[in-house]
Structure 1
């Protein structure tokens, strides 16, 4: 399938509710998808780099199914014709027999897949895809606790439970994910595929999706510039946005303002909330972060590209401001920007 990423088409994602569905992943996925192309601009002022995603919670007949989990999940609408269907994790005992369950929903999944849609699962939701007959002959992942159940009832499915995310099928249109928290990996994969890699990284930063062992700094973006009516400072901000690589940028900014360095520094901080040097360093480091996320250039080359002649000084500043080294930052976020299965 050619993923519907054209600017003229806002992809429709359906989060399928079944009696066994658990609410955490459904609502988590819904919130992430709704944020794409919207929340990062609200937080930082940076424009979207990809399209929005229309996410809806759906169920047969558009009504809440009886919940075996104890929490009712209210759908927006009936099954419809989405571009992507996601079956979240399902709560059932390990000795449960899933055969013959969900006949209407299973038929709908087969119909949507035949029409070119992408079909995805979270955790034990893999069982639903297997029951629909979509996984025969494919390599998929699922929660380790139901491996034996899958082998018993769906022996034609190739299991790879050591994996977290596994695209398979024609054009990678079947995507399975491992444990219940793997909904986050699936969400970022789909955002990168249907919006943009940059939007996927932004979603990871907004919701702090990923490794938390190094704290919150690696996820943080530059705060949204505060509004002001100082025309002199605004002109300097406009200039430095395109010229942050300039040598001794603060001195040049002060000269362009026509003010003494001391007066300029005071007015700039009053207008923006930043000292001039902190503002320039923030611009440079944010640009370096984007290059590390999307480019394969060496760290030394990126340091030079954003205005630092001494790569060691750049590394020290980056670690102080971001909390990790440039190499570690790239390791964390470059894989998010490229959907799984992409080279």
Structure 2
């Protein structure tokens, strides 16, 4: 029998991700046992404290065991963190991240949910690898872990026995992904139907709200960002921006990428598409009207950029998020 460890970090983590993971895997085990006559996993909640409080003490979790009592495990699942003081969470859970790193070296696979990725990244196991996390935490994550290849458009990443996923309740999709991988497709479909979780979602792009990456100290780049955001209808060339701020084109690109994680062109596209999304969500404007408002004149180009950023066409997006609009 394999061993599954669901971690309960100290401090504030997401109670929902712990409970749901436990419930869905218990159900998968029961279904597997009906067919094969035995459980696939021994499932344990483990932590570094005997009791962890959630939501100002309204709920508490008492892990089955301490991580120190687990010599070997096959799969580790790290719940999402529930606060924005990530440095404090990492300090509180240093013994846990060290334990994760040791277990990974012994052959365990590791899955993190949403902002649980911060814990895994602090162990060094994600250096040079791809991962995802909640899009709202992306800027903070990049500043704390510059050696990790963050891809918030992906709902799930799977690399060298390490799994990560996007934000909030998308952890349910990671659970199904792991169940299909460890049990089989039939068990994953069964759990999908029992818990009514959509199968095979692979992107969180439609849910991203782009607010711009402003947590940096480069004043020139901040001014360039403000100019881009204030001139959505304009087709602004990068050469024009570089000249406007008296910086060479190559240096302008380098500073912009270092500060924001995007090229100037990518940043301009994301700002324009975010404005287009809001218009499609809240107005009865046609696709063409919205396209012109954000500085595009070529329908094909607008559609391609929109799909690249959101994973959907403008018409699909409008149909999904604006129920009163007539497309």
- Taking structure 2 as the reference length, the TM-score comes to 0.55
Whether 2:170 is the aligned partner of 1:190: answer: no
Which residue number in structure 2 is paired with residue 30 of structure 1? Answer: 22
Change beyond 3 A, Cα 1:200–1:69? farther
Which residue number in structure 1 is paired with residue 124 of structure 2? Answer: 133
Alignment of 1:93-108 (within 5 A): 93=84, 100-108=91-99
User: Which segments of 5 or more consecutive residues in structure 2 lack a partner in the other structure?
Assistant: 200-327
Q: Is the 8 A contact 2:90 2:119 kept in 1?
A: no
Change beyond 3 A, Cα 1:203–1:69? farther
Change beyond 3 A, Cα 1:142–1:150? same
Per-residue deviation, 1:204: 0.8
**CA–CA distance in structure 1, aligned partners of residues 185 and 37 of structure 2:** 9
Q: Is the 8 A contact 1:64 1:72 kept in 2?
A: yes
Q: Is the 8 A contact 2:154 2:166 kept in 1?
A: yes
Change beyond 3 A, Cα 1:95–1:108? closer
Per-residue deviation, 1:183: 1.8
User: Which segments of 5 or more consecutive residues in structure 1 lack a partner in the other structure?
Assistant: 1-9, 212-343
**CA–CA distance in structure 2, aligned partners of residues 197 and 98 of structure 1:** 35
- Taking structure 1 as the reference length, the TM-score comes to 0.52
Root-mean-square deviation (CA), in Å? 2.4
RCO (CA 8 Å, sep 6+): is it higher in 1 or 2? Answer: 1
Which residue number in structure 2 is paired with residue 305 of structure 1? Answer: none
Higher CA-based Rg: 1
Change beyond 3 A, Cα 1:23–1:92? same
Which residue number in structure 2 is paired with residue 236 of structure 1? Answer: none
Alignment of 1:153-172 (within 5 A): 153-168=144-159, 170=160
Which residue number in structure 2 is paired with residue 65 of structure 1? Answer: 52
Change beyond 3 A, Cα 1:69–1:145? farther
Per-residue deviation, 1:101: 4.1
**CA–CA distance in structure 2, aligned partners of residues 69 and 159 of structure 1:** 31
Which residue number in structure 1 is paired with residue 141 of structure 2? Answer: 150
Q: Is the 8 A contact 1:69 1:91 kept in 2?
A: no
Q: Is the 8 A contact 1:21 1:67 kept in 2?
A: yes
**CA–CA distance in structure 2, aligned partners of residues 137 and 178 of structure 1:** 18
Q: Is the 8 A contact 2:3 2:74 kept in 1?
A: yes
**CA–CA distance in structure 2, aligned partners of residues 166 and 49 of structure 1:** 32
